[in-house]
Amino acid sequence: MSHIKLLDQNTINKIAAGEVIERPAAVVKELIENAIDAGANAITTEIKEGGISFIRITDNGNGILKEDIKTAFLRHATSKIKTVEDLLSVSSLGFRGEALASIAAVSQVELVTKTSNELTGIRYIIEGGEEKSYEEIGCPNGTTFLIRNLFYNTPARRKFLKSPNTEASMIGDLITRLSVSHPDISFKFINNNKIKLHTSGNGKLKDIVYNVYGRDISAHLLEVNGRTEEYEITGYIAKPIVTRGNRDYENYFINGRYVKSSIISRAIEDAFKPFIMLHRYPFAALHFRIDSDLIDVNVHPTKMELRFKNGNEMYHFTYSILSQILAGKELIPDVSLIE
Ligand code: ADP
Ligand code: MG
């Protein structure tokens, strides 16, 4: 008798879910990114109990074709890339085809979706990776995912969750960042029946900064706008009088993707260094547009990390533009900076 057996799909998905879905905020991230990729311009997220018992995300995007619904929940099933070459020029936020399979493996999922070309939509229920029902229903165009009881079948993971309040605040932070990353999308966040955030989606980054961070910061913004042939940066930094004790207010997005990059953080902080005290961090909301062949986004399953082909160039581009802005503004009396 042999000892080595191939695991069944459901077990594989449960194990893999550990990589992509470690907490409710990760579910929200994956589902909102899917909604963005589907071209939605209004995305509503509703949670209860920190998202542990209830997450509902509704978008007005393309919807999923009837014949694609079951496939969408298979591991490595994606409509976004076809070959490994496509990875070099990927412009969607997703491409690994793992999120839906992972989420469905460790929760109870109800999907309602309809494309604009179909007259009716589908309500599909899948729990712990097992299909429960698939029925035709009338519904608006777009997609709603309802995720109940995350990790109900993997109690070990559930034990590692923080309190509902902490989980909810992580989701709030995430949606805030996503709304800053996409000023052209209206985001709504409802926690325990209370509206916590609602952005207009009018495309103006400045309005969102005001909406999310308030007057104290938005009154002190400096516009950032610079480009070379390969790199482009737009957005805002706040004058050095606005600082934080942590990096929570350093927001930057590369081709619409929220990422963490020590190179960009260092460039921002070095530019501010002459103006702010040690262990204080600036406010930034910066959008980078970079040729997709100059970055690699396929570094980590959560896609929060990325690699630059030329990190030095990226550093100097960012650093020089920000320090020019800060140096120039130093010469002008303070009041004129307040718009
Ligand atoms: P990926 O985003 O990497 O392609 P996912 O598992 O997140 O993988 O989603 C699988 C597929 O399901 C997507 O490629 C897309 O075709 C479809 N899909 C998921 N969510 C939505 C949505 N909100 N609207 C339209 N299509 C969606
Ligand atoms: Mg996805």
- Which residue owns the Cα nearest ligand 1 atom 19? 34
CATH number, domain containing residue 238: 3.30.230.10
Pocket of ligand 1 contains residue 109 by CB under 6 Å: no
Pocket of ligand 1 contains residue 261 by CB under 6 Å: no
Pocket of ligand 1 contains residue 61 by CB under 6 Å: yes
Which of these three, 163, 198, 233, is where a domain ends?
Answer: 198
Pocket of ligand 1 contains residue 80 by CB under 6 Å: yes
* Spatial separation of the C-alpha atoms in residues 306 and 291, rounded to whole Å: 13
Task: Write out pLDDT tens, residues 130-181.
Answer: 999 999 999 999 999 999 999 999 988 899 999 999 999 999 999 999 999 9
Q: What is the pTM of this model?
A: 0.91
Which of these three, 145, 163, 198, is where a domain ends?
Answer: 198
Query: Which ligand has the shortest distance to the CA of 103?
Result: 1
Q: Do both 126 and 172 map to the same domain?
A: yes
Reduced to 3 states, what is the DSSP secondary structure of residue 171?
helix
* Spatial separation of the C-alpha atoms in residues 299 and 307, rounded to whole Å: 7
Domain that holds residue 261: 209-337
DSSP per-residue letters across 68-136: GHHHHTSTT--SS-SSGGGGGG--SS--S--HHHHHHHTSEEEEEEE-TT-SSEEEEEEETTEEEEEEE
Q: What pLDDT score does 177 carry?
A: 93
Q: Do both 216 and 155 map to the same domain?
A: no
Q: Do both 218 and 245 map to the same domain?
A: yes
Phi-psi region of 255 (alpha: psi -120 to 50; beta: other; left: phi over 0): left
Pocket of ligand 1 contains residue 111 by CB under 6 Å: no
Query: Which ligand has the shortest distance to the CA of 78?
Result: 1
Q: Domain tally for the chain?
A: 2
Which residue in 152, 144, 58 sits closest to 105, CA to CA? 152
This complex has an ipTM of: 0.99
Q: What pLDDT score does 338 carry?
A: 41
CATH number, domain containing residue 183: 3.30.565.10
Domain assignment present for 27: yes
Nearest ligand 1 atom, CA 61: 24
Q: What pLDDT score does 221 carry?
A: 96
Contacts of 215 (CB under 8 A, 6+ apart): none
Domain assignment present for 204: no
Domain assignment present for 162: yes
- Which residue owns the Cα nearest ligand 1 atom 25? 63
Distance between Cα 280 and ligand 2 center (Å):
35
Q: Do both 95 and 141 map to the same domain?
A: yes
Distance between Cα 234 and ligand 1 center (Å):
29
Distance between Cα 194 and ligand 2 center (Å):
27
- What stretches in the chain show pLDDT beneath 70? 329-339
Domain assignment present for 51: yes
Distance between Cα 98 and ligand 2 center (Å):
7
Pocket of ligand 1 contains residue 259 by CB under 6 Å: no
For a substitution probing ligand 1, which of 65, 76, 100, 144 has the most ligand atoms within 8 Å of its CB? 100
Q: Do both 69 and 127 map to the same domain?
A: yes
Q: Do both 187 and 221 map to the same domain?
A: no
For a substitution probing ligand 1, which of 34, 55, 86, 115 has the most ligand atoms within 8 Å of its CB? 34
Within 10 angstroms of residue 252's Cβ, the number of other Cβ atoms is 24
Distance between Cα 34 and ligand 2 center (Å):
5
Which of these three, 176, 198, 220, is where a domain ends?
Answer: 198
